[in-house]
C-alpha cells in the first residue's frame, strides 16, 4: 500500500493516469483480488452510504440521550447565514450520524462516530457539480485511500488521538474526494487534506456519558463544512505551508500529548461539565 500521500499523488503524476486508477491497481496488487471485486466492494459501500442518508432523512431515532434527539431535522429550516446547499450538507451529515447513533447501518468512514461527513460531502458535491455515479465512486476511492494512508501512518482512533483522528480525518478524506471530483490537481488534493486537518487539529473526543451522540452528531456537521471550506480554498489556489504528510505526523504527535480524559473516555471536555455529568447519571440510573 502507499506509504504517504505524496507517494500516491506522485505515482499518478508520473504515470499520467487518473488517481483513482492508480489507487485501484494498488489495492488489486495488495489484496490479490480482481479489479471487479475491488469496485464491487466500493459500490456496496456507496450503496450503504446512500441508504444511511435516506433512512436518516425518513426516521427520527430514539436515542439514550433525550436532549440530543430531533436535532438534524431542525436543520431543514431556511438558512440564515449559510447557503442552502451547505446547510443541507450539514443536515445530511447529522442525519447519518443520528442514524448511526440509533443503531442504523452505516459505513465507518473512517469511523462510526464520523460516518456522516464523507457521504454528505460526496452527495452534495455530486449535486453541485452535476456529476455521474462513476464520478462519485472514483471520489470515494480517492477518499478511502487517503483514510487508509492516515490510518496506517498515524491513527483513526478517537481513543488514541481525539476527535481530530475521527471527524478530522473524515474531513480530510471528504476534502480530497470532492477536490478530485471537481477536477482538482494533485497539489490541490494535498493542500485540501492539509488544510482540513490543520483546521481541526487538537480536537478532543469528549462524548457525554461515553456515548457516540453528543457532541459527535454536531461535529459531523462541522466536519462536512470544514471539508467544503478546505476544498474551496485549495481549488482557489490557497496552499498549506506544511504538506499533508507532515500535517498527519503533527496530528499524531498532538494526539499522543492529549490527556486520557480528552480521548473518548467521557471524563473531560463537555462530558465533565455539570450538565454532562447529570445527563450521564440520567442515562445510567436504571442500569445499576
**Digit-coded pLDDT (tens) for 201-258:** 999 999 999 999 999 999 999 999 999 999 999 999 999 999 999 999 999 999 999 9
Per-residue buried b or exposed e for 39-51, using 16+ beta carbons within 10 Å of the residue's own CB? beebeebbebbee
| Cα 192 → chain centroid | 13
CA distance 280 to 213: 12
- CA torsion through residues 220, 223, 229, 235, sign: negative
In the numeric block, which cell numbers belong to residue 266? Answer: 467521557
In the numeric block, which cell numbers belong to residue 145? Answer: 485511500
**Please, which pLDDT band fits residue 287 given cuts at 50, 70 and 90?**
low
In the numeric block, which cell numbers belong to residue 90? Answer: 450539514
Judge if pTM exceeds 0.75. Answer: yes
Domain ranges of the chain: 5-284
* CATH topology assigned to domain 5-284: 2-methylcitrate dehydratase PrpD (1.10.4100)
Cβ burial of 205 (10 Å; 0-12, 13-18, 19+) is buried
Chain mean pLDDT for the chain: 97
Interhelix angle 19-31/5-15, nearest 10 degrees = 110
Amino acid at each position: 500500500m502507499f506509504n504517504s500521500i505524496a507517494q500516491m499523488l506522485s505515482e499518478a503524476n508520473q504515470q499520467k493516469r487518473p488517481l483513482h486508477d492508480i489507487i485501484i491497481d494498488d489495492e488489486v496488487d495488495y489484496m490479490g483480488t480482481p479489479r471487479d471485486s475491488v469496485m464491487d466492494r466500493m459500490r456496496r459501500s456507496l450503496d450503504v452510504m446512500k441508504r444511511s442518508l435516506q433512512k436518516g432523512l425518513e426516521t427520527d431515532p430514539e436515542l439514550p440521550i433525550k436532549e440530543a434527539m430531533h436535532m438534524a431535522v431542525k436543520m431543514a429550516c431556511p438558512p440564515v447565514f449559510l447557503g442552502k446547499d451547505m446547510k443541507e450538507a450539514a443536515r445530511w451529515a447529522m442525519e447519518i450520524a443520528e442514524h448511526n447513533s440509533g443503531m442504523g447501518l452505516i459505513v465507518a468512514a473512517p469511523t462510526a462516530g464520523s460516518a456522516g461527513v464523507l457521504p454528505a460531502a460526496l452527495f452534495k458535491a455530486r449535486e453541485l457539480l452535476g456529476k455521474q455515479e462513476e464520478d462519485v465512486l472514483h471520489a470515494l476511492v480517492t477518499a478511502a485511500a487517503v483514510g487508509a494512508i492516515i490510518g496506517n501512518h498515524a491513527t483513526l482512533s478517537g481513543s488514541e488521538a481525539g476527535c481530530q483522528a475521527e471527524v478530522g480525518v473524515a474531513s480530510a478524506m471528504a476534502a480530497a474526494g470532492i477536490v478530485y471530483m471537481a477536477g482538482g490537481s494533485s497539489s490541490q488534493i494535498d493542500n485540501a487534506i492539509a488544510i482540513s486537518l490543520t483546521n481541526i487539529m487538537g480536537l478532543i473526543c469528549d462524548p457525554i456519558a461515553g456515548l457516540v451522540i453528543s457532541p459527535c452528531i454536531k461535529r459531523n456537521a462541522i466536519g462536512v463544512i470544514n471539508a467544503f471550506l478546505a476544498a474551496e480554498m485549495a481549488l482557489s489556489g490557497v496552499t498549506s505551508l506544511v504538506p499533508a504528510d507532515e500535517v498527519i505526523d503533527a496530528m499524531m504527535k498532538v494526539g499522543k500529548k492529549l490527556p486520557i480524559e480528552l480521548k473518548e473516555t467521557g471524563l473531560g471536555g463537555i462530558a465533565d461539565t455539570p450538565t454532562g455529568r447529570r445527563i450521564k447519571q440520567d442515562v445510567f440510573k436504571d442500569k445499576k
